[in-house]
Structure 1
């Protein structure tokens, strides 16, 4: 007997058919479009502010800077307060035992200036001083360069501070943190672990990093007090001339005693002859168009390399109405542009010592260089000689910390600081509470080839008072017509700084992504030597496969680069938007009002 289906069964079959049809159509279009899936934006905080904003690598320090501006201070005042705080809480990467590069922009005058407070080689230095003692440039008292932070911060405050907030008031919050204690971050715990074996040879710093309650190294969330540093900061805070105190007076004498008694090179004469360099004629580049000017520090800062990557990619894509970030060719061009730019880095150096540095700097910001690179961009990766005939290497710089500030008058500061490697030289002045840099390792030494057999860069050889080459690239981009700041950006992470600042800026200003999207996005890093490109997880496999197969790029996928971008953008709606980098393993957020 023939049995007809019920209405319910017909409805079930019909519903199933429609569902399968929808799924099939969806899959068809998904496959036909073949749209790569990028890493989704992180849950790291993203906020906007009407008047002023701060982003740094420690939320306590950012809040201190915010409060300074709320009480009438300007961006310089805030930056000084934040930087002193960073040296208290993030002393694995920054502090008054190190140095910095700063960019300052004043809206009412449309004037941009820079301050070079980079560490300098002692008077006893020579280019051959580490040839038979390479370890001495890495750790220990002989690796310390003359510190520049206090001189640079005091110079910035005296010349460009608001005059509404006293010097002592800028230091007091950090003094309180050092006296009363601050929470140890996950980053600090990690870097203690990284250096734990070497700390066995540096008992004073080992004891300093040991929690007196648990008798173990400090862990994430532990409270650490630094009373000796608090006392040093207090003396500096209430001195009429903190640079005299630090470089020629009581503190300077203790510094030179500690270093020389332990076999180091820095004497009181080294300290007394140090000065930070204020440059009111910095690098200004207008290649972005739309009345935008990029401002940054001259060499030995790495800014000239950073801006060249941005300028070249902008020139290639500025006429495109829509830029397809899913196109592997775009990322191939960015990788190749990095190679051309980084290849020039080894020819740069301290402009007071390297005759050709100014010529190379001017060449790298010229239309001639942009056009040459664009004309020479290959369809496939080439051997290193294709990018330059001069195959040298510079030592990898490390560490660093960055802060960005915009105040309620539209002024801005971008500041990158460092003591080089984690905890610098591993040397501690116990009486002062200062952890010293190992900046001498950022110089090159003759007769010492790297693991790839390439000779060292002669332009970065050691000379007395010379400052080593750096990747630090603090940058401010402003509208030279309206005078308004557009982007304040910089990064930590040594050699990764240049590629990360460049790509974040490219994504924000050329690809029109929000600053959060730009900071979060996975990055490509190629520093020419080695020629392998590091690629962060989150770049679609369809893109990396084509880069390898079609463009012959050698890629190394990694979870994340060890660097952090700190950026603020000011958009046409008048708001300041800030983003913290999810690569930073601490709870952090932008702040302002």
Structure 2
């Protein structure tokens, strides 16, 4: 094995549509009748570099009677619980917890990025999927990176898309919040002001990006993370007073302060000085979209997620395929692993058809196809238990052979006392996003433009793809915030961070709990594998069972050991008890009551 450094007919989609100009949100909702739910909040942030797993850390997992928050930073779990205890909604808790995470885990997420939220309302029995992902600037174009530096789509001003997080939080809070807007910001403001010790995960990210931090090209990042000429280390105190002031202003003045005020004009000027092609109108025109809710099935549970450009349909197809197999309790063997990998390959082949549905009317058709039970049955029937095949075996003719990568992310899932649920994933993409940090606002900006397919900078099977750059378009994402419903209500709230590994990791955790009958903590601790079709290799975590890797290789798989991993946070309801786990691959601790 080589070492890899790595950087249904039963599906339902659209029932009701309404507009809310106040939130600038176009909404589409899926009604799920007769479901009863409880609320959970879980947060996961970032993709690990050389992460390790310690399955003996009891603090990674806990049980609660009423509500829970499982975050990869304990202080942020507590921030979410603080809102719940004040009488806040699941959405209130999710927003407060994530604002906190954006301060603490600045390498992965923050208000300079965007994301997706899946919200289940127990009273109405409806599920809503909000898309507040970043969008390409109006001046963007398919060939905008021609004759630019080879890394201009990855780092610097040209890699920045229009952030959607604050507008997304506003839209969710206006519809589903209970507390005052400004209350949601207080834990994050407090932490940014007082400071917090740098965690092991953040320290690793800083070290990983040391070359760029100290290059002299990203002075805003350097002044924060290397204030005395050398990078900060684990345990060092990190204060973010500029960001605290920015958060305070947004708390007092609302989202318009970020998108329409003189602050925005100053922010645009600073971004342009860093090479961005962003204008004021890009911020003023930003809107939140309510997406179709994807519905797949595993065992006896509905698996609810977000449609394209989110990853719900990919997850749904993987699970629909695997739902036809009878896995043995607790036992993961070579054949089971082979079938899981093959399901991933078929699902990722269909992912090549996905993008922003506003720019291609075939995207929603592709999603419907992926969630059709007969599609899963057909693909399951094609799986050969004895061998695997090259990528073109799985790809429909003339599908674009490209896979976009989104690396650093933050996931949050909420299960609250009143029966509502939130699963939310946010991102600035790579570690420290574009590497552009404002020296006046303290915001670290995303590099989501790299999630588009870019001619000449990624392999292409043909000359067209639905994920090419266009003005005001949203790039394809692997983010997969997920809620599982059963006859008795919420079964699980789960999601992950970690780029293209997000979807496959969420699938494996669900499979481990429902297919292999593992407790949630063991389901998350278990070593994982990943296949995204391109490249044509199975990536396995360090210490993945060698007998299984040998079995995969005997079936023709190329197996590579990777030191990167996704980070899963989840809450599983068993006999009315909430089992919450924070993935030890990243650290953190759940909280609840």
> 1:288 is matched with which residue?
298
Point out the structure with the larger helix share: 1
Matches within 5 A, 1:250-261: 250-261=262-273
In structure 2, the CA distance between the partners of 1:156 and 1:40, relative to structure 1 (3 Å rule), is closer
Moved over 6 A (4+): none
Q: Say which of 192, 212, 234 aligns to 1:220.
A: 234
Q: Say which of 527, 545, 554 aligns to 2:558.
A: 554
| Cα drift, residue 401 of structure 1 | 1.0
In structure 2, the CA distance between the partners of 1:459 and 1:542, relative to structure 1 (3 Å rule), is same
| Cα drift, residue 108 of structure 1 | 2.1
CA–CA separation in structure 2 for the residues paired with 1:138 and 1:106: 38
1:235 counterpart = 2:226: no
1:459 counterpart = 2:466: yes
| Cα drift, residue 456 of structure 1 | 7.4
Q: State the Cα deviation string for residues 382-438 of structure 1 (Å, max 9, x = none).
A: 111111133511232110011111111121111111001100111111111101101
Contact conserved, 2:405 with 2:499, CA < 8 A, in 1? yes
CA–CA separation in structure 1 for the residues paired with 2:158 and 2:169: 25
> 2:50 is matched with which residue?
none
Contact conserved, 1:416 with 1:491, CA < 8 A, in 2? yes
Q: Say which of 370, 382, 385 aligns to 1:364.
A: 370
| 2:129 partner SS | strand
| 1:146 partner SS | coil
| Cα drift, residue 338 of structure 1 | 0.6
Question: Which 5+ residue runs of structure 2 have no aligned equivalent?
Answer: 1-52
Q: Say which of 190, 194, 197 aligns to 2:211.
A: 197
Larger radius of gyration: 1
> 1:301 is matched with which residue?
310
1:409 counterpart = 2:456: no
1:69 counterpart = 2:80: no
Q: Say which of 137, 145, 149 aligns to 2:165.
A: 149
| 1:577 partner SS | strand
| 1:441 partner SS | helix
CA–CA separation in structure 2 for the residues paired with 1:324 and 1:91: 37
| Cα drift, residue 202 of structure 1 | 1.3
Q: State the Cα deviation string for residues 512-547 of structure 1 (Å, max 9, x = none).
A: 211111100011101100011012234332222222
Contact conserved, 2:330 with 2:517, CA < 8 A, in 1? no
CA–CA separation in structure 1 for the residues paired with 2:333 and 2:565: 26
Q: Say which of 233, 256, 267 aligns to 1:244.
A: 256
Matches within 5 A, 1:11-90: 41-44=55-58, 45-90=60-105
Q: State the Cα deviation string for residues 56-84 of structure 1 (Å, max 9, x = none).
A: 22111111101110111121000010111
> 2:445 is matched with which residue?
436
CA–CA separation in structure 2 for the residues paired with 1:540 and 1:135: 37
CA–CA separation in structure 1 for the residues paired with 2:449 and 2:333: 42
CA–CA separation in structure 1 for the residues paired with 2:128 and 2:479: 16
Q: Say which of 579, 583, 586 aligns to 2:585.
A: 583
Q: State the Cα deviation string for residues 25-69 of structure 1 (Å, max 9, x = none).
A: xxxxxxxxxxxxxx9944252110000001122111111101110
Matches within 5 A, 1:521-536: 521-536=526-541
Q: State the Cα deviation string for residues 432-476 of structure 1 (Å, max 9, x = none).
A: 1101101111111224443xx756761100011100000000001
Contact conserved, 2:152 with 2:159, CA < 8 A, in 1? yes
Contact conserved, 2:295 with 2:316, CA < 8 A, in 1? no
CA–CA separation in structure 2 for the residues paired with 1:114 and 1:391: 27
| Cα drift, residue 218 of structure 1 | 1.4
Moved more, 469-478 or 253-262: 253-262
| Cα drift, residue 352 of structure 1 | 0.6
> 1:418 is matched with which residue?
427
| 1:136 partner SS | coil
CA–CA separation in structure 1 for the residues paired with 2:105 and 2:580: 21
CA–CA separation in structure 2 for the residues paired with 1:590 and 1:324: 25
Question: Which 5+ residue runs of structure 1 have no aligned equivalent?
Answer: 1-38
Q: Say which of 198, 218, 223 aligns to 1:184.
A: 198
CA–CA separation in structure 1 for the residues paired with 2:443 and 2:270: 11
Contact conserved, 1:131 with 1:448, CA < 8 A, in 2? no
Which fold has the larger relative contact order, with Cα–Cα distance below 8 Å and residues 6 or more apart in sequence?
Answer: 2
| Cα drift, residue 181 of structure 1 | 0.8
| Cα drift, residue 284 of structure 1 | 2.2
In structure 2, the CA distance between the partners of 1:273 and 1:326, relative to structure 1 (3 Å rule), is closer
| 2:568 partner SS | strand
CA–CA separation in structure 1 for the residues paired with 2:90 and 2:330: 37
Contact conserved, 1:75 with 1:407, CA < 8 A, in 2? yes
Q: State the Cα deviation string for residues 98-143 of structure 1 (Å, max 9, x = none).
A: 0011111112222111110000000001101013324211111111
Contact conserved, 1:393 with 1:455, CA < 8 A, in 2? no
Point out the structure with the larger strand share: 2
Q: Say which of 170, 180, 184 aligns to 2:184.
A: 170
In structure 2, the CA distance between the partners of 1:180 and 1:113, relative to structure 1 (3 Å rule), is same
CA–CA separation in structure 1 for the residues paired with 2:578 and 2:435: 39
In structure 2, the CA distance between the partners of 1:538 and 1:447, relative to structure 1 (3 Å rule), is closer
CA–CA separation in structure 2 for the residues paired with 1:547 and 1:276: 43
CA–CA separation in structure 2 for the residues paired with 1:130 and 1:574: 53
1:137 counterpart = 2:149: no
| TM-score calculated relative to the size of structure 2 | 0.87
| TM-score calculated relative to the size of structure 1 | 0.87
Contact conserved, 2:538 with 2:560, CA < 8 A, in 1? yes
> 1:14 is matched with which residue?
none
In structure 2, the CA distance between the partners of 1:566 and 1:457, relative to structure 1 (3 Å rule), is farther
Matches within 5 A, 1:380-395: 380-388=387-395, 389=397, 390=399, 392-395=401-404
| 1:397 partner SS | coil
> 2:506 is matched with which residue?
501
CA–CA separation in structure 2 for the residues paired with 1:40 and 1:552: 31
Q: State the Cα deviation string for residues 352-385 of structure 1 (Å, max 9, x = none).
A: 1122111110010001211111110022011111
Q: Say which of 123, 126, 140 aligns to 1:108.
A: 123
| Cα drift, residue 289 of structure 1 | 4.8
Aligned-CA RMSD value: 1.7
